[in-house]
Every structure is written in C-alpha cells, then in structure tokens.
Structure 1
Amino acid sequence: MNTRIKLRHLQAFVAISRLRSFKHAAKQLFLTQPAISRTMAELEDIVRCRLLVRDRSGVELTPQGAFFLSFADATLSALERGISGIGDFANDSGLHLRIGMQASVAVRVMPMVTAAVAQDTKDLRLSLVEGAHTDLVTRLRDGQLDVVLGLQGPPESMGDLSFTQIYTEALVIVAAPGHALQNRPELQKIIDWPVIYPPPEDPIRPAVRRFLVSAGVPLPPMRIETSSFAFGLSRTLEGGALWIAPQGLVAPYVARGDLIQLGIDMSSTAGPIGLMSRAGEDQTLTARLLLPILRDCLSDESSG
C-alpha cells in the first residue's frame, strides 16, 4: 500500500464523489474549499491519474475515479466498523447491532422484533435510528449503521447496496373519523382537500404519482409535502386533511378508531420492504440474526 495516502485523502474523495460538489464536501468535512482542493490534488498526484473532473453541472468521476471509489468507500466503512467494534469490546457490552428503520417499519415491525430479541437474545444490544431513506442509506454506506429496514429505494440509490425482501406493503389514504369522504370515498375528490403527500426524496412518491396518473387524478393542489410521521398524524387527527401513507404506518391508529381508511383500492402501490446492507460483503451477523426474527414476527402477526 502507498503510505502517502492518508485518511483525509479518502474522506475528501468520497465526500466529493457523493455530493458532486467541492463546496458541499468541504462544508461536510469542516474544511475550506482551497484545503479540500489541495487534498484532492495530492491524492491524484499519489495515484498518478485524474479521479474527478469539474464541469458546469458539478463534479463527475472519471472511469479511474469510479473504480477507486468503491475501494475508498469500503476502506472508510471498514475502519468505522472496526472503531465501533473496539468500543463494544471496551464496554464489554456484547454484540451491538445498529439498525436504521423507516417510519412504517418502526411502527409495524420493530416493537415485535425488540420484544423477541429481549426474550431470546439477551446479550444483544440494539441501537435503532429512524429516518428517511436517503439519510439512512448514507449512514449505512458510511458504516454508521449495520443494516437498514424499509422500502427499497430507486435504482440510483441502491447501486452499491444489497436488498433482501421480507414483505410487501401498499399505501392507503386515511382521514379523521367523520370526514366527508368516509362514506363516499371517491379518488377524484381528494383534490378538494388538503393532502399530506410524500416529498420528492421519499421512495413512496413514485408509486403515489403513478397511481394518481393511472386514475386521471392531478396532483392535489392543496398538498403538504412531508415525510414527518408526527406532523402527518397530528394534522390528520385535527380533521379535514387526507394522508397518503404506508399501510403499516397508520394501521394501529385505524385499528383503534383514531383514523379511518378510505375504501379506495391502492393495492397496485404495494412495494417491497426488506433489509438493506452493503453489497460486496459477506452476509453480516446482523443480517443472519435479524432475518429469522423478522420473518417469525411477521408470521406470528399474520397468524394472529
């Protein structure tokens, strides 16, 4: 290995490659733009080739840069996992699994999973992080998470990740009890109401858009774009608004009668929910432990 390559070279290269911007990468790494530019120049001098090129649209990887990125990324991820593992040994805390989860998984699945872990695997410590798809897969790539549970993202966000499907989940439209559409649910009429709608970065948005287009329904003009579960629930319970959400996210509130699900068939929006991990690695201990627990919990849910 070339001993001239330092950690700061790899951090700068990976950050610029992901963000496609020297400016944003410098901000993320708490560097000045001249400093990060010098660091990249040093790295390109060491490897004796151009890794990045700038153009009007931003920063692009050269073929050599694209090849080198996977190795630089894997090196940083491995180092992060090693540091985390040392911390676990020092604390004598047993096995530590760091799980990222999207909101519908947090509501529907993880309570059952954590109960099963507490009963059957007492020396296993879980750290759970809830978030949006983009943030969670970034943390997964950085080695801050071992796996992510949630809806499979678009192809461009999954290129260096593997995905194991566990179940499928459709979207539903919910409202507060007594809503005017409760007894006469007509999809075309949702545009007459405020609609809590997934933002562009939410992986369910394409499915929602396809569903509406196929039904000849335009984008709701009074839509509120957010992935916030807390806001979606609070605003819907106030009355008047409609909420397009994953079924598992709102099912407990529908079951208790806090929300009502409109009788509109959205089965065509069903998407794969599963376990995401870093591609190119052997199946992690996390995956080997989690998959049977997840499947057992979902099997018990279905039979119950």
Structure 2
Amino acid sequence: MNYQIEFRHLHYFRVLAEELHFRKAAERLFISQPGLTRQIKQMEEIYRTPLFERDKRNVKLTEAGIFLKQEVDLVFNQLNNIRTQIEKIAEGKITNLKLGFIGSAVQTILPELLAKLKVKQPLIDISLQELSNEIQLEMLVRNELDFGFVRTANYPSQIQTYPILTENFALVVPKGHPITTRKKVSLSDFKEESFILFSKQYSASYYDLVMSIFRDHQFEPKVALRTVNALSIFNLVSQGIGIAIVPSSLKKGYHADVEFIELTHIPQRTTLYLAWNKENRNHGIPFFTDILKEILQ
C-alpha cells in the first residue's frame, strides 16, 4: 500500500468527526458519500486502526479517533492562526492577540492594559470575547485564544498564569436593604434568604470556593438561580429575587439598584489571573505580558 496521509484526509476526517453522519459530512464537503467512505478507509488502513465505529444507525469515534480529532483540531487552529498572522503582516501589523475575559477583568486591569498596549504597540490588533472561565481554558489549550482573564484554581499543565488581583468577596443586596444599616454583618443572618450565584460553568473551583463560605457558616444556601453573567445577578438582586456573593471588584462599572457589603471578616479571597498557553508561539505574547507586569509594579 502506497497511501500517505494528505491534508484532504485530515479535512474529511475532521468534518465527519464533527457530524458523525456520513451523508451530512459528504454534503458539507461537496463529495459523494462513497467517496468520503473511501477516504476514511484509506486513513484507517494507513494508521492500521479503526477511527470510527459505525453500524446502520450510528457513527462514533473510537479511542484512536478521539485522540486524532484533538490533534487535528490543533493543526487546523494553528493553520488559522498562521493565516491571521500573515494577513496582519500584510496590513502592516505586528500580530493579532485574541483575548478572553470575565466581567470583573473589565472593572480592574483590562481597560488600562489595552490603553497602554495601544500606545506602546499600536501595530498589535486585539480581539476580545467575554467568556466563562472554563471555556477560556478550553480555548487556550486549543490556541483559539492567546490570553484569558480567569478566576480558577485548576489549570491544564500547558497553561501558565500570572496573578493580577487578590480581593475580598462582597455580599450584594437590594438598595435600601435593612442589613446595610448594621455595623457588623454575618452571613449567618441570611440562612433563610435565597441566593443568586455564579454557576459551576463560570468556574468549578470558584464555585467550590464560594460554597466553602457557606460551609464555614454552617448552612447550605437556598439557591434561586445560577448564572455566568454578573449583570443578570445584579438585576435579579435589585428585583428582590435573592442576594448574591461576588468578587468585590464587580461593584465598579455596573449600574443596578443594589448595594455591596464587603466581607472582610471571612478568610476566603478570590484571585484574578492572566492565563496563556506556554506552547503558543504568537510573538505578541511577550509584549502583552511585559506591559501587564509594568502596570502591576
């Protein structure tokens, strides 16, 4: 057999791995279904192992197929990054940096960081996406993001982090709530209240940290709603649906009828990190981290 893996094989494999349906994949690729079947069979002969398990009703990836899908995704993401960088060079730019962030990053360092980067490195383009912590980490691993601003304690091995800000938590209550007149506030006073919290999708480790606050006060919160959006939390609190616990920095920049009570007496703190993939070769990364360190110093 003289077959060799070619780019088209990887492209066909990736589409079929996404669709898990030969007819739909063939239509998406604008080839015949028998033609797609032959290409996949060639790959399996070259690799000497099945990549898909199929019967009359179902198509699914084998263990080898799952591994190959992960690697092929990295290859295609890198090719997309190369294309983007070449386009930026053609436009006279140095590079493009893709940033993910959570809401509290906008209320702390991100605006100043972007302003300084624009002054010091005007030839670097920036793309921004507000995303949950977990999605940012997944995208960083795949090099779909260059940087993420995250709150989480658990990172994949290839992710490097730099601490930006460690802060207190704050209790969020409706404006005019009687508790705001007290000199000292205990979370135990809110055992019967409903809470609106960031969900585990925001960050599993952040969620566990917040739940540890309730455990320290010996009660399980009544959770009315879990969300990944800070503004949704504040709007619901202002309507009397419940109260919330959030990082203190979120009291800046949002205009909602709520009040913040900083929980300085509890041991729990939350840290905002800058995260990036150590294997990412975007040459704009050192520029960005140098400016961040300059601001923090």
Corresponding position of 2:250? 249
Q: Deviations over 1:166-202 (max 9, x none)?
A: 2334433222443233225221233433322111212
The Cα shift of 1:264 comes to 5.5
State the secondary structure of the residue aligned to 1:285.
coil
Corresponding position of 1:122? 122
Distance 1:92 1:136, change over 3 A: same
Whether the aligned pair in 1 keeps the contact of 2:196 and 2:242 (CA below 8 Å) is yes
The Cα shift of 1:235 comes to 2.6
Q: Deviations over 1:48-105 (max 9, x none)?
A: 1145679xxx97763x557645542331221110121233234344432111112211
Corresponding position of 2:151? 151
How many residues end up aligned between the 2 structures? 277
Corresponding position of 1:302? none
RMSD across aligned positions (CA): 3.7
Partner of residue 3 from structure 1, selected from 1, 6, 23: 6
CA distance in 1 between partners of 2:130 and 2:249 (Å): 15
CA distance in 2 between partners of 1:80 and 1:41 (Å): 27
In terms of Rg, which structure is larger? Answer: 2
The Cα shift of 1:42 comes to 5.4
The Cα shift of 1:114 comes to 1.4
Runs of 5+ unmatched residues, structure 2:
none
Instruction: Give matches, 1:46-195, under 5 Å.
Output: 46-51=46-51, 62=63, 64=64, 68=68, 71-152=71-152, 154-155=154-155, 158=156, 161-167=158-164, 168-182=166-180, 183=182, 184-195=184-195
TM-score under structure 2 length normalisation: 0.75
Instruction: Give matches, 1:191-230, under 5 Å.
Output: 191-203=191-203, 204-221=206-223, 223-230=224-231
Runs of 5+ unmatched residues, structure 1:
17-21, 300-304
Corresponding position of 1:290? 288
The Cα shift of 1:229 comes to 2.0
Whether the aligned pair in 2 keeps the contact of 1:199 and 1:226 (CA below 8 Å) is yes
Distance 1:138 1:67, change over 3 A: closer
The Cα shift of 1:261 comes to 1.8
The Cα shift of 1:150 comes to 1.4
Whether the aligned pair in 1 keeps the contact of 2:52 and 2:62 (CA below 8 Å) is yes
CA distance in 2 between partners of 1:270 and 1:253 (Å): 19
| AA of the residue aligned to 2:14 | Q
- Structure 1 ranges of 4+ moved more than 6 A: none
Whether the aligned pair in 2 keeps the contact of 1:11 and 1:76 (CA below 8 Å) is no
If each structure's helix is expressed as a fraction of its own residues, which one has the higher value? 1
Q: Deviations over 1:30-61 (max 9, x none)?
A: 79xxx7x957665433321145679xxx9776
Distance 1:230 1:265, change over 3 A: same
Distance 1:269 1:262, change over 3 A: closer
Distance 1:234 1:59, change over 3 A: same
State the secondary structure of the residue aligned to 1:137.
helix
Percent of aligned pairs with the same amino acid: 15
TM-score under structure 1 length normalisation: 0.73
CA distance in 1 between partners of 2:290 and 2:245 (Å): 31
CA distance in 1 between partners of 2:247 and 2:193 (Å): 19
State the secondary structure of the residue aligned to 2:170.
strand
State the secondary structure of the residue aligned to 2:222.
coil
Whether the aligned pair in 2 keeps the contact of 1:208 and 1:269 (CA below 8 Å) is no
The Cα shift of 1:296 comes to 2.5
Q: Deviations over 1:205-236 (max 9, x none)?
A: 12112222233120324x21111122123233
The Cα shift of 1:262 comes to 4.3
CA distance in 2 between partners of 1:178 and 1:250 (Å): 16
Whether the aligned pair in 2 keeps the contact of 1:13 and 1:40 (CA below 8 Å) is no
